[in-house]
Structure 1
Amino acid sequence: MELQGAGHSTFVANLLSLHDQQYCVTKRIRELLNNEQYSDLTIICENETFHAHKNIVCTGSSYFDAACNNPGFTESQGTFDLRNSETMFVKKVLYFLYTGDYNFDEEKKAYKDMKGPKSKKRSANGETVEAPAPPTKLLTEKEIKFMENHPAYLHYRVYAEGEYFMINDLKDKAADYFKQALLAKRIPPAQFVEMVQEIFTDRPNVEPLQDALLAHCVRNLQYYQRGRQPVLTTEFLKQRPIFANAFCLELTEEYIRVLRDHPGVILQPGGHLGR
């Protein structure tokens, strides 16, 4: 059934009004983050201090909820010392708790500005030299190294923070972004090895990331097995039994899917189809 005329206009107007209301509420909640005036919780990281609010942080995170309700946690203290945590990723946790989402737009822009277009400057001897345009945000050396990784790695780190701070919704969001990043771009071989090392351990609750990385590996089998920098070697699999077992199962399932969807097709060595 289609809405026509005045009914359709009213429906669209109501939708836009609802969207505007949601935007205003989200904007107001987001603006509370780091607002010292109403803050009742301080979170200290490596190089930054965040001013948060228990009613937002504790209702979204079982970790903060349990800590704040601990008899030893007094109002006068009201401080979490997370100096051993990475500021970049704790910031994403807090941003998610306040807005229901997160991104790396600010860091991407700063990294692009740092690596990107040059600005011409005149030196003392009169010569014109090129220098990087000043970034809108300065990245630490550690943050620069993070940004040099495949985007999926950043979302893996956010997922790990979601696990640590017991925020299931954040884990779901990070896992979804992780999958999207793997679909958009292949992981360079060296980074693929590092990611396998970190994700394929006996640590629980990382199955969504493992499944996504396995699917990515099978989709790009030729690239990782026979590309310029082959990493899927016998030695690689021997050294990583957890990944090797999961990889063999994924290949078997993929083979079964091909046979089911294309009866009579034979999967030749190297991933080619034949009859």
Structure 2
Amino acid sequence: MSNNEAADRQQTVMNLKTLYEQKETVTKRIKGTSSLFLNEEYSDLTIICKSEVFPAHKNILCTGSAYFKAACGNPAFIESQGIIDIKESEPMLLKKVLSFLYTGDYDFAEERKAHKEAKESKGTKRSADGDLIKAPATDKLTEEEMKMMEAHPAYLHYRVYAEADYFMVDDLKAKAGTYFEETTMAKRLPADTLLEMIEEIWADGPNFTEVKEAVVADCVRNLRYYQRGRQPMLTSEFLEEHPQFATALCLELSKEHIRVLDSLTGPQIPRNPIRVQDRWRMSRGRQPGR
């Protein structure tokens, strides 16, 4: 083994050791903070979101969110006094942001259970005497949250992505974007959901890059369905109304077309490009430029 190879191997071992130590540090930190999630012990911050109240800890929120750091760190803000009233969010989505800041991940297991219970409680049931009675509706989810739980799973991750953007949690944006892409690949978006998401995403500015790319990729994968299905939605009228989306879709389709050609014939870049008109003339035995 040469000296260079030995040095490279040693450097690789050191890099792996560093990564392992960093992972262990993060794991220990998460284990330490996850026990404080929604725990009033040592809580020095109260977050109010509609009917929900969440106990929180400034040192955890401020280190993971630029939003909370700015709010809690400025004495001029009322939030610095220990109470934050958030009216723009849904409690379920805010809870996912807090879950990520404390545990490094989030899921909708609790909400899916509540949604299932709400659906089962609808309609009528019989009492012990055999009389029909109306089952009470659950109050665990708001009306808006119930609608979200009825939607495609990717829509939930899109809403978490938007929350992460609002609260300036970049790591959560990356994770929610990954979950969004995975769910769209596993299950095609319904046409009506896709229309709604395109209008929302492209109206919310340039910070939604990962979600935009995933939506365009879903359109390319399912182009035949969205154009010729029972509910065709990629019509000329729709594309004219959404020019930024149309441009992104056109660029991705051209890339996909090139990828298909390359897979069939291999990348071909001529050293001396010939004009299309000249190539057409030469194929018919005519001289170029005539």
Q: With the length of structure 2 as denominator, give the TM-score of the two structures.
A: 0.75
Work out whether 1:31 is the aligned partner of 2:35: yes
Q: What residue number does 2:64 align with? A: 60
Q: What residue number does 1:45 align with? A: 49
Asked if structure 2 preserves the Cα contact closer than 8 Å seen for 1:118 and 1:130, the reply is no
Q: What residue number does 1:187 align with? A: 189
Asked if structure 1 preserves the Cα contact closer than 8 Å seen for 2:47 and 2:56, the reply is yes
Match 1:106 to one of 82, 105, 110: 110
Task: Kindly report which structure 2 residues correspond to 1:247-266, keeping only aligned pairs within 5 A, or say none.
Answer: 247-263=249-265
Q: What residue number does 1:219 align with? A: 221
Q: CA deviation at 1:172?
A: 0.4
For structure 2, which runs of at least 5 residues remain unmatched after alignment?
1-19, 267-290
Q: Deviations over 1:100-156 (max 9, x none)?
A: 0001111112222333599995347636x6987987x82221111111111111111
Q: CA deviation at 1:70?
A: 0.8
Q: What residue number does 2:171 align with? A: 169
- Structure 2 counterpart of 1:31, which letter? S
Q: CA deviation at 1:83?
A: 2.1
Which has more radius of gyration? 2
Q: CA deviation at 1:31?
A: 3.0
Query: May I ask how many residue pairs the two structures share in their alignment?
Result: 244
Work out whether 1:86 is the aligned partner of 2:86: no
Cα gap change, 1:154/1:75 in structure 2, threshold over 3 Å: closer, same or farther?
A: closer
Query: 1: distance between equivalents of 2:88 and 2:108?
Result: 21
Cα gap change, 1:253/1:25 in structure 2, threshold over 3 Å: closer, same or farther?
A: closer
Of all paired residues, the percent bearing the same amino acid is: 56
Work out whether 1:208 is the aligned partner of 2:210: yes
Match 2:160 to one of 134, 158, 171: 158
Task: Kindly report which structure 2 residues correspond to 1:65-76, keeping only aligned pairs within 5 A, or say none.
Answer: 65-73=69-77
Work out whether 1:198 is the aligned partner of 2:192: no
Q: CA deviation at 1:195?
A: 0.6
- Structure 2 counterpart of 1:227, which letter? G
- Structure 2 counterpart of 1:111, which letter? H
Asked if structure 2 preserves the Cα contact closer than 8 Å seen for 1:46 and 1:84, the reply is no
Query: 2: distance between equivalents of 1:133 and 1:27?
Result: 39
Query: 2: distance between equivalents of 1:239 and 1:33?
Result: 44
Query: 2: distance between equivalents of 1:74 and 1:141?
Result: 30
Asked if structure 2 preserves the Cα contact closer than 8 Å seen for 1:114 and 1:132, the reply is no
Cα gap change, 1:49/1:118 in structure 2, threshold over 3 Å: closer, same or farther?
A: closer
Query: 1: distance between equivalents of 2:218 and 2:120?
Result: 29
Asked if structure 2 preserves the Cα contact closer than 8 Å seen for 1:95 and 1:102, the reply is yes
Secondary structure at the residue paired with 2:192? helix
Cα gap change, 1:40/1:257 in structure 2, threshold over 3 Å: closer, same or farther?
A: same
For structure 1, which runs of at least 5 residues remain unmatched after alignment?
1-14, 265-275
- Stretches (4+) displaced over 3 A: 24-28, 73-76, 116-125, 129-135
Q: With the length of structure 1 as denominator, give the TM-score of the two structures.
A: 0.79
Q: Deviations over 1:159-213 (max 9, x none)?
A: 1111111111000000000001101111111111001101123602211111111
RMSD: 3.0
Query: 2: distance between equivalents of 1:199 and 1:75?
Result: 29
Query: 1: distance between equivalents of 2:44 and 2:245?
Result: 44
Q: Deviations over 1:209-258 (max 9, x none)?
A: 11111111100011100001111111110111111111111111110010
Query: 1: distance between equivalents of 2:204 and 2:78?
Result: 37
